[in-house]
Chains A and B, each alone.
Chain A
Amino acid sequence: MMIETVKNWLENRTGLPSWMHRFFNEPIPASTGWRNTLGSLAGALLLIQLLTGFLLALYYVPHPEAAYESTAYVENQVPAGWLVRALHYWGASFIIVALFLHSARVFYTGTYRNPRELTWVVGILLFGTILALAFTGQYLPYNQMGYWAASVGIEIGSSAPIVGPYIGTLLRGGDVLGALTLSRFYALHIVLLPAILIALVLIHLYLLRRHGPARTPRDPSDDVVPFFPMQVLRDAIVITAGLGMLAGASVVLKTPYIAPIDLTDTTYVPRPEWYFLAHFELLKLAPPSLYQVATFWFPGAVITFLVALPWLDRSPTSAPSARKGIIGIGSVSLIIFLALTAYGFTTGGHEEASEADTLLADDSVDPAQARLAAGRAVYDEQMCATCHRINGDGETRGPDLSHVGIRLQEDYLREWLRDPEQFAPDTIMPSVMVEDEALLDALVAYLMSLKPEDSGD
Chain B
Amino acid sequence: MTTPVSRRKALAMIVSGIGAFWTMAAATVSGVFLIGPLRKAGAGRRVELGKVTSFDSEFRLVHLAFHVSDGWHTKEEKIQVYVRLNEQSELDILSAKCSHLGCAVNWNGEGREFVCPCHAGRYGEDGAVKDGPPPAPLERLEASIEAETAYLNLA
Binding site for B on A (CB under 8 A): 44, 48, 51, 55, 58-59, 61, 66, 69-70, 72-73, 77-81, 83-84, 87, 228-230, 232-233, 236-237, 239-240, 243, 247, 397, 425-428
Contact = CB atoms under 8 A, between A and B. Distances in A.
A428 B67 contact: yes
Interface residues of B, number: 28
A17 to B, nearest CB: 15
B71 interface: yes
Contacts, number: 76
22 contacts: A44-B22, A48-B26, A55-B30, A58-B34, A59-B72, A66-B72, A66-B73, A70-B71, A70-B72, A79-B39, A80-B33, A81-B33, A84-B30, A84-B33, A87-B29, A228-B15, A229-B11, A233-B15, A240-B22, A425-B43, A426-B43, A428-B69
Interface string B53-74: 0000000000000010101111
B68 to A, nearest CB: 8
Nearest to A83: B29
A51 B45 CA distance: 36
Contacts of B39: 79
A72 B18 CA distance: 34
A333 B45 CA distance: 64
Nearest 7 CB-CB pairings of A with B: A73-B72, A229-B11, A80-B32, A70-B72, A236-B18, A69-B72, A80-B33
Contacts of B78: none
B45 A55 contact: no
B14 interface: yes
Contacts of A247: 25
A156 B73 CA distance: 35
B32 to A, nearest CB: 4
Nearest to B29: A80
A236 B19 contact: yes
A455 B25 CA distance: 55
Contacts of B72: 59, 61, 66, 69-70, 72-73, 77
A230 B34 contact: no
Contacts of B14: 233, 236
Contacts of A233: 11, 14-15
Nearest to B7: A229
A228 B13 CA distance: 12
Contact of B22 (A61, A80, A230, A243): A243
A51 B30 contact: yes
B71 A59 contact: yes
A70 to B, nearest CB: 4
B18 A240 contact: yes
Contacts of A240: 18, 21-22
A183 to B, nearest CB: 18
Contact of B69 (A59, A61, A426): A426
B36 A79 contact: yes
A79 B12 contact: no
Nearest to A65: B73
B8 interface: yes
Contacts of B32: 79-80
A229 B11 CA distance: 6
Contact of B15 (A83, A229, A428): A229
Nearest to B70: A428
Nearest to A229: B11
A229 B8 contact: yes
Contacts of B43: 425-426
Contacts of A230: 11
Contacts of B25: 243, 247
A81 B29 contact: no
B35 interface: yes
Contact of B36 (A48, A61, A81, A83): A81
A137 to B, nearest CB: 18
Nearest to B71: A73
A328 B109 CA distance: 96
Nearest to B45: A426
Contacts of B22: 44, 239-240, 243
A369 B148 CA distance: 46
B76 to A, nearest CB: 11
Nearest to B31: A80
Contacts of B33: 55, 78-81, 83-84
Interface string B34-54: 111001100101000000000
A243 B67 CA distance: 42
Contacts of A77: 36, 71-72
B5 to A, nearest CB: 12
A85 to B, nearest CB: 10
Contacts of B18: 236-237, 239-240
Contacts of B30: 51, 55, 84
A120 B64 CA distance: 66
Given A79-B33, A425-B40, A428-B67, 11 more contacts: A51-B30, A66-B72, A77-B72, A78-B33, A79-B35, A87-B29, A232-B15, A233-B11, A426-B43, A426-B45, A428-B74
A61 B70 CA distance: 13
